[in-house]
Amino acid sequence: MSTPLLEVRNLARHFPAGERSWSGAPRQVLKAVDGVSFDLERGESLGLVGESGCGKSTLARTIVGLYPATSGTVRFEGTELTSLSRSAWRPYRRRIQMIFQDPYASLDPRQTVAQILDEPLRLFGMGRRRERRLRALALLDAVGLNPRHVNRYPHEFSGGQRQRIGIARALAGEPDLIVCDEPVSALDVSIQAQVINLLAELRERFGLAYLFIAHDLAVVRHLCERIAVMYLGRVVEVAGREALFRSPAHPYTQALLSAIPHPDPEVERTRERIVLTGDVPSPLAPPTGCTFHPRCPHRGAVPGNRCATEPPVLLTDAEGRQRACHLEPGS
């Protein structure tokens, strides 16, 4: 078997929180990401879904090296990234790019689009001035913006157009992997579909792999062939898109899916919805055992109070689906 493009193993990112003890040690630890593992193949698009605060964005930032990992590994084509020095990271900065949620905050308002796109091209040593200029124009064209607007400033564009500039900037270094951190959440619904279609088209054209983070399963449905569901810092289910939407195996995924409205009003009127009680617990004091157990409608079906005492392990079945739950499969 060939090496995956990205291999994440038991990755954790904890933050010290609250007051410190007399010895200087933090009294509390916020476990934003707590033992996440998955693979991503070259050219594949993996959706990572979960409610706000479940650790998705922290996971994304830890993978791209913006946060140091507390423990665990991130391998890119077999090279371990978490232990690399800043200078050793440099070649991977070009090959692993990120698109941020907020197209307003992620672009420098004092720079023209030409300057925004020239920065990574210069940093990665991609041609002389004139070649870089031509490349910037080609990038604008690739993301559906008018190359004649290259000397405009971000405030002269709409929200969707600014996100296209962010996508063009991510493409500048000809990456293999783009980590997309909720890239359409801040956009109007009508614009979201356009940006998702653009990302799908670019992936096809440039053979890109995406780790696509969203809080909405409906958003990843059109772009990702595999989906990982995250709850309170951990992955609870990973499955192919069709299998996940047809028969979600984890109680949390079942609840997330049941919240998506059905387009047929008749089906929508009669379908059963799973309403979760309570809020997502604080990662400062996660529940014992399965962290989903205080909200899980099935916890009573597992004998021996295991749900409250024993953390379920993410196990892989014969078809390659993964699930972390003590319930018997199919029950």
Does 307 engage in binding with ligand SF4 (CB under 6 A)?
Answer: yes
As a residue count, the chain comes to: 331
Q: Which of 251, 253, 283, 322 is close enough to bind ligand SF4 by CB under 6 A?
A: 251
Residues 289 and 295: their CA atoms lie apart, in Å, by: 13
Name the E strands within 194-296. 209-214, 226-231, 234-240
Q: Among 243, 204, 247, 212, which Cα is nearest to 230's?
A: 212
Q: How many residues bind ligand SF4 (CB under 6 A)?
A: 13
Least Å distance, CB 307 to ligand SF4, is 3
Does 298 engage in binding with ligand SF4 (CB under 6 A)?
Answer: yes
Q: Measured from the CB atom, is 162 or 295 closer to ligand SF4?
A: 295
Stretch that binds ligand SF4, among 123-131, 220-228, 241-249, 323-331 (CB under 6 A): 323-331
Residues 1 and 11: their CA atoms lie apart, in Å, by: 23
Does 312 engage in binding with ligand SF4 (CB under 6 A)?
Answer: yes
- Say if residue 200 is exposed, middle or buried (CB neighbours under 10 Å; 0-12, 13-18, 19+): middle
Does 299 engage in binding with ligand SF4 (CB under 6 A)?
Answer: yes
Q: Among 143, 287, 304, which Cα is nearest to 296's?
A: 287
Least Å distance, CB 310 to ligand SF4, is 8
Stretch that binds ligand SF4, among 13-21, 71-79, 190-198, 293-301 (CB under 6 A): 293-301
Residues 182 and 99: their CA atoms lie apart, in Å, by: 8
Least Å distance, CB 8 to ligand SF4, is 22
Q: Measured from the CB atom, is 184 or 290 closer to ligand SF4?
A: 290
Does 113 engage in binding with ligand SF4 (CB under 6 A)?
Answer: no
Q: Which of 293, 314, 321, 322 is close enough to bind ligand SF4 by CB under 6 A?
A: 293
Q: Which of 44, 55, 292, 322 is close enough to bind ligand SF4 by CB under 6 A?
A: 292
Q: Which of 106, 296, 314, 322 is close enough to bind ligand SF4 by CB under 6 A?
A: 296
Does 229 engage in binding with ligand SF4 (CB under 6 A)?
Answer: no
Does 321 engage in binding with ligand SF4 (CB under 6 A)?
Answer: no
Helix (H) / strand (E) element for 11: namely strand 6-20
Does 140 engage in binding with ligand SF4 (CB under 6 A)?
Answer: no
Residues 239 and 248: their CA atoms lie apart, in Å, by: 8
Least Å distance, CB 238 to ligand SF4, is 15
Q: Measured from the CB atom, is 196 or 325 closer to ligand SF4?
A: 325
Least Å distance, CB 324 to ligand SF4, is 7
Site string for ligand SF4, 147-176 (x = CB under 6 A): ------------------------------
Residues 159 and 107: their CA atoms lie apart, in Å, by: 11
Across the chain, which distance is largest between two alpha carbons, in Å?
A: 70
Residues 15 and 33: their CA atoms lie apart, in Å, by: 10
- CB–CB of 18/27 below 8 Å? yes
Does 326 engage in binding with ligand SF4 (CB under 6 A)?
Answer: yes
Q: Which of 36, 214, 239, 302 is close enough to bind ligand SF4 by CB under 6 A?
A: 302
Encode burial over 295-327: b for 16+ CB neighbours within 10 A, e otherwise: bbebbeebeeebbeeebbebeeeeeebbbbbbb
Does 234 engage in binding with ligand SF4 (CB under 6 A)?
Answer: no
Side-chain half-sphere CA neighbours of 190 within 13 A: 1
Q: Which residues bind ligand SF4 (CB under 6 A)?
A: 251, 290, 292-293, 296, 298-299, 302, 307, 312, 325-327
